């Protein structure tokens, strides 16, 4: 987030040059970092310093501050990826965003100190949409059948609005089971290791620090239905969200872990930003979580009705993983189902939509085999509403 500085600077009488002209960009940047260090997160400070040292200083370290204008910054942003490539490194879009953010902040800071007109520079940030009702149901359904730190973190993000750094710093003792409350007062960051130059030391480390802005220290309520889920991961004195081997988890690892799980379920558009946006917009329906965890209708995600189009669309997405779990080739699967290989390939790659009889044949095949039975159920491909529909003569 761009910080606005209201500092004013009074020129000394008899001085022929403004302080802005006397300083290089490096000097102004170092002053900005010293001023901002106590007010921005450690991870943000570290990313700013990294961007300056790797991408900005090679170009502007000794350039007079007055020459680094808005126009010059915009020119540099266009060529920065090529300049980084010449130095043997790849500058990602997120890295480029950090370069622009820190240059913008340094310019604003220098202009404020020099009592000159502040330069206001803005750029578009990606807007994330809240979860759709179907996505919310599928995440709750997946969490019910896959108990892991990533899915617990997803639920706490949806129903408590917790950020990834807060999730990674959440201590088991911060959870009050009697009151169904979580005390949020710490945040985890991955920062540069001050001992990184020593042999065998890692370049970065994970630190947990108190949240500096009191308005972010808060208590939030969580749905009581999650108590049993949370208790599976509670260990007195330890963080709640941990990696395998009981190791500390950092925000990036948590984000990547959730992404891998969502990719497997063909929900690749799900991320923590969207989960938290759902909470912020008041769309995190606790009744959905409760119904799914207790197995109460509406049946996920059809609310007691058979959504034929949804079923056939989802089947097309899941056919390839299901087939590979059985160790079959497309030719072998087509032979079992009694359809041509060409038709089967079209169904699997999504270029052809299955008819209802094809859907039922494929569903029977994969639900009948033990390796894929539970997966078909977990994916919602054989909902209770469909089971009820095909049962004849039962009360």
At how many degrees (to 10) do helices 356-368 and 308-325 cross?
40
Q: Could you give the CA distance from residue 300 to residue 143 in angstroms, rounded to a whole number? A: 13
208 and 99 together in one domain: no
Instruction: Determine contact, residues 210/186, Cβ cutoff 8 Å.
Output: yes
73 and 157 together in one domain: no
Provide the number of structural domains found in the chain: 3
246 and 210 together in one domain: yes
* CATH assignment at residue 265: 1.10.443.10
What is the DSSP annotation of 196-216?
Answer: TTSTT--SEEEEEEE-SSGGG
165 and 280 together in one domain: yes
Phi then psi for residue 239, to 5 deg, are -70, 150
Tokens linked to 373: 């039975």
**Is residue 75 included in any domain, yes or no?**
yes
322 and 209 together in one domain: no
152 and 88 together in one domain: no
37 and 60 together in one domain: yes
At how many degrees (to 10) do helices 133-145 and 370-378 cross?
140
151 and 83 together in one domain: no
243 and 148 together in one domain: yes
**Is residue 215 included in any domain, yes or no?**
yes
153 and 235 together in one domain: yes
Domain boundary among 55, 84, 113: 113
Instruction: Determine contact, residues 202/191, Cβ cutoff 8 Å.
Output: no
Residue closest to 255 by CA, chosen among 245, 241, 244: 241
Expressed as residue numbers, the domain containing 139 is 133-294
**Is residue 254 included in any domain, yes or no?**
yes
98 and 229 together in one domain: no
Q: Could you give the CA distance from residue 386 to residue 307 in angstroms, rounded to a whole number? A: 9
**Is residue 202 included in any domain, yes or no?**
yes
Per-residue pLDDT of the chain (395 residues; tens, 9 = 90+): 333 444 333 344 444 444 434 689 999 999 999 888 767 777 788 889 989 999 999 989 888 888 888 888 988 998 999 888 888 888 888 889 899 999 999 998 888 877 544 444 444 455 678 888 888 888 998 898 889 999 999 999 999 999 999 999 999 999 999 999 999 998 888 777 766 655 566 677 888 888 866 557 888 999 999 999 999 998 888 889 988 777 788 898 999 999 988 887 777 789 999 999 999 888 888 888 988 888 775 444 434 445 677 778 888 888 888 888 888 999 999 998 888 888 888 888 888 888 888 888 898 888 888 888 888 887 778 877 677 666 655 54
229 and 137 together in one domain: yes
């Amino acid at each position: 987030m761009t910080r606005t500085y209201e500092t004013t600077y009074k020129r000394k009488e008899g001085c022929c040059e403004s302080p802005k002209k006397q300083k290089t960009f490096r000097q102004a940047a170092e002053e900005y970092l010293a001023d901002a260090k106590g007010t921005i997160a450690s991870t943000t400070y570290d990313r700013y310093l990294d961007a300056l040292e790797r991408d900005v200083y090679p170009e502007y370290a000794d350039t007079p501050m007055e020459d680094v204008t808005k126009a010059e910054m915009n020119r540099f942003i266009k060529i920065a990826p090529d300049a980084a490539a010449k130095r043997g490194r790849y500058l990602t879009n997120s890295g480029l965003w950090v370069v622009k953010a820190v240059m913008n902040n340094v310019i604003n800071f220098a202009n404020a100190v020099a009592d000159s007109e502040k330069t206001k520079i803005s750029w578009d940030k990606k807007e994330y949409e809240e979860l759709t009702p179907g996505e919310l149901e599928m995440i709750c359904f997946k969490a019910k059948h896959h108990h892991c730190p990533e899915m617990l973190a997803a639920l706490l993000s949806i129903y408590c609005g917790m950020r990834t750094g807060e999730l990674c710093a959440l201590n088991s003792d911060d959870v009050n089971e009697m009151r169904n409350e979580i005390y949020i007062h710490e945040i985890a960051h991955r920062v540069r290791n001050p001992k990184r130059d020593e042999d065998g030391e890692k370049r970065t480390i994970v630190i947990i620090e108190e949240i500096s802005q009191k308005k972010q220290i808060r208590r939030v309520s969580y749905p009581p239905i999650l108590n049993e889920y949370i208790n599976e991961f509670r260990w007195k004195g330890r963080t709640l969200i941990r990696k395998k081997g009981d190791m500390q988890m950092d925000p990036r690892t948590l984000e990547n872990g959730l992404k891998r799980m969502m990719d497997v379920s063909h929900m690749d558009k799900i991320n923590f930003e969207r989960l938290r946006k759902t909470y912020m917009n008041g769309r995190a329906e606790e009744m959905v979580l409760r119904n799914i965890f207790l197995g109460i209708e509406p049946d996920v995600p059809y609310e007691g009705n058979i959504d034929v189009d949804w079923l056939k669309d989802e089947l097309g997405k899941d056919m390839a993983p299901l087939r590979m779990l059985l160790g079959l080739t497309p030719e072998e699967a087509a032979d079992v189902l009694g359809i041509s290989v060409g038709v089967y390939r079209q169904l699997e790659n999504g270029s052809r939509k299955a008819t209802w009889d094809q859907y039922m044949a494929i569903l029977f095949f994969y639900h009948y085999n033990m390796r894929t039975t539970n997966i078909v159920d977990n994916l919602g491909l054989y909902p209770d509403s469909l089971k009820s529909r095909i049962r004849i003569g039962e009360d």
